Structure 1
Amino acid sequence: MDLATVDKLLTTTRTVRKRLDLMRPVEPEIVQECLEIAIQAPTGGNIPRYHFVVVTDAGKRAELGAIYKRSFFEVYSPERQEETRQSDPRLIDSANYLAERMHEVPVLVVPCVEAPAMAQGAGPGVYGSILPAAWSFMLALRARGLGSAWTTLHIRYEQEAAAILGIPDGIAQAALLPVAYYTGDDFKPAKRVPARERTYWDGWGQTR
């Protein structure tokens, strides 16, 4: 296994918003290929509860985009946007960009999970059957020159989205992933607090 390639994939799979190519079509075959790779991810209890709704229809993308935009601007009020802009102006600008253009992204993917046990407090285990696969999907996209962004704000209006897509009761939506080829050059690792500064051994606050 080529560790350099693997490490580059893991450290440069970024959230892509402004660099999503809204004009270039995405082949359905490449989306399906990435999903087939994604389902090799771990599943909670080794039970395959995952489902994926791939949305390419322009009308449905417009409806989902409208839901996302509404939710985004409810959560990110002008006051909150200004607060965020003070600390990270690039983040809020790119988030706004995607909120205004979600409907223009050529493919939207909604990872879903069978959730009959949610009422019994099985949330973490149930989501363990979809979140690893969704992230693997994003890694597979990145390896093929496509980008995505992890978004969940549309879930504030999950039932509206379910009605648009015909998602039945008992199926929970985990995210809304815009998928497109990306523009520009390669990606770089992000600035992060080093893990060693937040890693504890044998107890909270204990270092090696």
Structure 2
Amino acid sequence: MSDQSDQHTQSNRPTLGLSADEVLTTTRSVRKRLDTGREVPRDVLIDCIEIAHQSPTGSNSQRWRWMIVDDAAKRAKLAEIYKRNFDAYAGGNEFEPGTQQARVHASAIHLAENLQHVPVHVIPVLADKMDEGTPSSRQASRWGGILPAVWSFMLALRERGLGSAWTTLHLQEEQLAAEVLGIPFETHTQAGLFPVAYTIGTDFKLAKRPPAEHFVSWNAWDL
């Protein structure tokens, strides 16, 4: 029997054919260019999660869970929670027109105002409860298990012509979101909310970043 016999068979939907480096360097936070009018097939999401499940995980434990929301009424409730907390967080911010900060802020406003229209919301869930009393060593271990899977999920989306953005503002009311979706709040921790859609165009470029050596110390801290 083949070693692959019990694994999910990926769909035959086309991919962009990007190299590993291209996927890694052009997977952007997508907000304005999410195509809210195009359906996202469930099998494509499952393909991306299958890929995400190949990411490293501490003690080979796979403590991640995935809450996928394509129900319009529940998306609207999540969007209401997100918008309320976005307004409290960013409502009074102003930036010089034409700057990168201004562009990012405008993009964030667009997402907050249109989140309910994005066809899929994905909430990765850690099967453990993280709170202020959780020791940092345990937090590092647990987050170190789910975050690589989430990033792999975003990379897999990119290769299939979809995009997303890592958002966390709804977590200001995590318990309310848990109640909307039936997530057991006392034992599980949400890692974010990812609006998922096909992108309008697939031509994403490298971000402008300072050289890596500006962020590196060798053997003794000097930053």
Partner residue, 2:73: 59
Checking the alignment, whether the CA contact within 8 Å between 1:44 and 1:127 is kept in structure 2 is: no
Instruction: Tell me the secondary structure at the aligned position of residue 131 of structure 1.
Output: helix
TM-score when normalising by structure 2: 0.85
Tell me if 1:34 matches 2:51: no
Question: CA separation of 1:5/1:201 partners in 2, compared to 1, >3 Å: closer, same or farther?
Answer: same
Tell me if 1:196 matches 2:188: no
Equivalence map 1:1-208=2 (5 Å): 5-78=19-92, 81-83=93-95, 88-116=101-129, 119-121=133-135, 122-168=138-184, 169-205=186-222
Q: How far apart are residue 120 of structure 1 and its match?
A: 4.0
Whichever residue aligns with residue 175 of structure 1, its letter is G
Whichever residue aligns with residue 128 of structure 2, its letter is A
**Distance in 2 between residues matched to 1:97 and 1:117, nearest whole Å:** 30
Instruction: Tell me the secondary structure at the aligned position of residue 82 of structure 1.
Output: coil
Q: How far apart are residue 87 of structure 1 and its match?
A: 6.0
Checking the alignment, whether the CA contact within 8 Å between 1:26 and 1:181 is kept in structure 2 is: yes
Question: CA separation of 1:113/1:131 partners in 2, compared to 1, >3 Å: closer, same or farther?
Answer: same
- May I ask how many residue pairs the two structures share in their alignment? 201
- Structure 2 residue runs of 5 or longer lacking an equivalent are 1-17
Whichever residue aligns with residue 141 of structure 2, its letter is G
Q: How far apart are residue 184 of structure 1 and its match?
A: 2.6
**Distance in 2 between residues matched to 1:8 and 1:101, nearest whole Å:** 29
Task: State percent identity of aligned pairs.
Answer: 49
Deviations 1:65-108 (A, max 9, x none): 00011110111131xx2147666110000000000011100000
Whichever residue aligns with residue 148 of structure 2, its letter is P
Whichever residue aligns with residue 202 of structure 1, its letter is N
TM-score when normalising by structure 1: 0.91
**Distance in 2 between residues matched to 1:113 and 1:153, nearest whole Å:** 17
- Structure 1 residue runs of 5 or longer lacking an equivalent are none
Q: What RMSD over aligned residues (CA atoms) do the two structures have, in Å?
A: 1.7
Deviations 1:43-71 (A, max 9, x none): 13332110000000000000000001111
Checking the alignment, whether the CA contact within 8 Å between 1:145 and 1:181 is kept in structure 2 is: yes
Instruction: Tell me the secondary structure at the aligned position of residue 51 of structure 1.
Output: strand
**Distance in 2 between residues matched to 1:160 and 1:197, nearest whole Å:** 41
Instruction: Tell me the secondary structure at the aligned position of residue 94 of structure 2.
Output: helix
Question: CA separation of 1:83/1:45 partners in 2, compared to 1, >3 Å: closer, same or farther?
Answer: farther
**Distance in 1 between residues matched to 2:39 and 2:25, nearest whole Å:** 26
Whichever residue aligns with residue 56 of structure 1, its letter is D
